[in-house]
Amino acid sequence: MNQPSAKKRRAPFECQRCNVCCQGRGGIFLENQEIAPAAALMDLSPEEFIGRHCRARDGRYEVLAGADGACGLMGPQGCRIHQAKPAICRRWPFFPSILANPSAFEDARQACPGIDPEVSHQDFVAYAREQGFNEETE
Ligand code: SF4
Ligand code: SF4
């Protein structure tokens, strides 16, 4: 007798590379130590990178947005500094506020198609912990 095959659940988060999270929904900042690796990926000196793509703000560097509001480091193939993208971009969608607050999680789920539309907040938090993120870690 054939047994019904168990439906394979997708992971709670799988990036779909839609780049929606790079469309200007908040300030993207680079710390001092993040500048040189990012500049190298674009064949620029740190000074050239800062001059073309950043403005100094609050002791850090804010990435300039393009005319459409999207992050200025977005290229036709996606993030132009992917291997050295800032901590805030590496962390998304496992922000402390999203892990601590079910309402913030629902907002993130609406914005990010990489989050399983059926996963519970509890299971998402558990998955985030498996990835090394929790409500406290920045
Ligand atoms: S919005 Fe979500 S799925 Fe789309 S690129 Fe960003 S993290 Fe990936
Ligand atoms: S730095 Fe890269 S990953 Fe971060 S918002 Fe800009 S394009 Fe997106």
Q: Which ligand lies nearest to the CA atom of residue 19 in the structure? A: 1
Name the residue at shortest CA distance from atom 4 of ligand 2. 89
- Nearest Cα to Cα of residue 81 among 133, 38, 35: 38
pLDDT of residue 96: 95
pLDDT at 72 over 90: yes
Q: What is the DSSP letter of 117?
A: T
Q: Which residue has the higher pLDDT, 1 or 52?
A: 52
Token pair 């938090």 in the structure block, residue:
125
pLDDT at 138 over 80: no
pLDDT averaged over the chain?
90
73 Cβ below 6 A of ligand 2: yes
**What is the Cα–Cα distance from 99 to 93, expressed in whole angstroms?**
9
Ligand 2 atom closest to residue 88's alpha carbon, by position in its atom list? 4
Helix (H) or strand (E) holding 110: helix 102-111
89 Cβ below 6 A of ligand 2: yes
Phi and psi (nearest 5°) for 75? -115, 180
pLDDT at 9 over 80: no
* Predicted TM-score of the model (pTM): 0.83
Ligand 2 pocket test: which of 42, 62, 73 has the largest number of ligand atoms within 8 Å of its C-beta? 73
Centroid of ligand 1 to alpha carbon of 14 (angstroms): 8
Phi and psi (nearest 5°) for 55? -135, 140
Ligand 1 atom closest to residue 18's alpha carbon, by position in its atom list? 4
pLDDT one-digit tens code per residue, 86-119: 988 999 999 999 999 999 999 999 999 999 999 9
pLDDT of residue 30: 94
**What is the Cα–Cα distance from 112 to 80, expressed in whole angstroms?**
20
Provide the pLDDT confidence category of residue 26 given band limits of 50, 70 and 90.
Answer: low
pLDDT of residue 3: 53
Q: Three-state secondary structure along 53-91? A: HEEEECCEEEECECCCCCECCEECCEECCHHHCCHHHHH
Q: What is the DSSP letter of 29?
A: E
